């Protein structure tokens, strides 16, 4: 008797949930509340979160927080200029590949800026990249760094999602148009303020200037507004403190990506407001 060959049919599309900067303990609690609901509602295959502000004081990330993110079903955590704020994360980079630091940091920095993850049998490339305009770090050119990354990443997968952690909207737009059609999505982070310019560019790359944040809505980018305002008034150094008062926001974006071409079919912004999460400082 001849055995029938079973052909595994690849999904036509991959649904990816990308979440903006998670701010401190409030952001983590709101994330844990809404991730299961959103994954079920949208049929999410993969979750990517920017976690560089997830430490309790809103600066940095720790190995314990990486365990938390993974328990929530997050496959890859991206970052930016605050990734080095907690020294305990340095050893994590030596053994794990699910936390990314910006790829255009010097090569001898701990960790990597690129990950290739298998999702339902489909390889997905994730890149963490940092802009240079208005940021004090003197990094390699993100455009040329991305070109180098694509020279080897495209041989592995056509699905490539970039977290572009940058301040200037113009730099983010230029980066997205430069790589339109070469990557599946360019999603901005860092400003913590969600923009309303989501679209699929002519070449098939999904774009959003800034995904936003997960944290207190009545705040200044997730931190106590009185302290931040005092810094602007006095021009003196200040120590930011995470805002714990509700309401809280959950900002993200849903990508639907063609698994054959790697092009985005759609992008949808998520902006949820929560008045019920009780957080004791």
Per the CB < 8 A criterion, the answer to whether 100 and 77 are in contact is yes
Backbone angles phi and psi of 140, in degrees to 5: -65, 155
Query: CA-based diameter of the chain, in Å?
Result: 84
Per the CB < 8 A criterion, the answer to whether 125 and 91 are in contact is no
Instruction: Please give the structure tokens belonging to residue 68.
Output: 């938390």
Q: How far apart are alpha carbons 224 and 238 in whole angstroms?
A: 11
Active site includes 82?
yes
Q: How far apart are alpha carbons 21 and 83 in whole angstroms?
A: 12
Question: Considering 2, 41, 82, 275, which one is annotated as catalytic?
Answer: 82
Strand bridging mode 264-274 / 13-19:
unpaired
Q: Which residues are catalytic?
A: 82
């Amino acid at each position: 008797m001849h055995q029938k060959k079973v052909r595994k049919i690849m999904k036509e599309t991959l649904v990816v949930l990308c979440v903006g900067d998670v701010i401190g303990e409030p952001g983590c609690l709101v994330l844990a509340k809404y991730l299961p609901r959103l994954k079920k509602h949208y049929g999410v295959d993969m979750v990517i979160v920017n976690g560089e502000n997830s430490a309790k004081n809103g600066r940095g990330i720790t190995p314990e927080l990486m365990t938390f993110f993974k328990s929530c079903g997050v496959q890859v955590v991206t970052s930016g200029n605050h990734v080095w704020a907690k020294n305990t994360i340095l050893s994590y980079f030596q053994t794990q590949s699910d936390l990314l630091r910006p790829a255009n940091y010097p090569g001898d920095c701990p960790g990597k800026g690129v990950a290739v993850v298998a999702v339902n049998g489909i390889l997905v490339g994730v890149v963490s990249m940092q802009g240079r305009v208005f940021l004090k770090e003197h990094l390699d050119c993100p455009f040329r760094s991305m070109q180098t990354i694509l020279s080897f990443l495209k041989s592995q997968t056509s699905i490539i999602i970039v977290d572009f952690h940058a301040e200037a909207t113009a730099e983010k737009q230029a980066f997205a148009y430069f790589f339109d059609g070469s990557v599946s999505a360019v999603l901005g982070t860092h400003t913590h303020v969600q923009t309303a310019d989501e679209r699929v560019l002519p070449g098939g790359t999904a774009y959003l200037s800034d995904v936003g944040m997960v944290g207190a809505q009545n705040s200044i980018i997730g931190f106590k507004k009185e302290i931040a305002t005092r810094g602007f008034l006095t021009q003196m150094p200040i120590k930011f403190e995470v805002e714990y008062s509700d309401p809280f926001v959950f900002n993200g974006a849903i990508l639907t990506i063609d698994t054959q071409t790697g092009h985005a079919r759609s992008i949808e912004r998520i902006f949820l407001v929560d008045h019920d999460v009780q957080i004791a400082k």
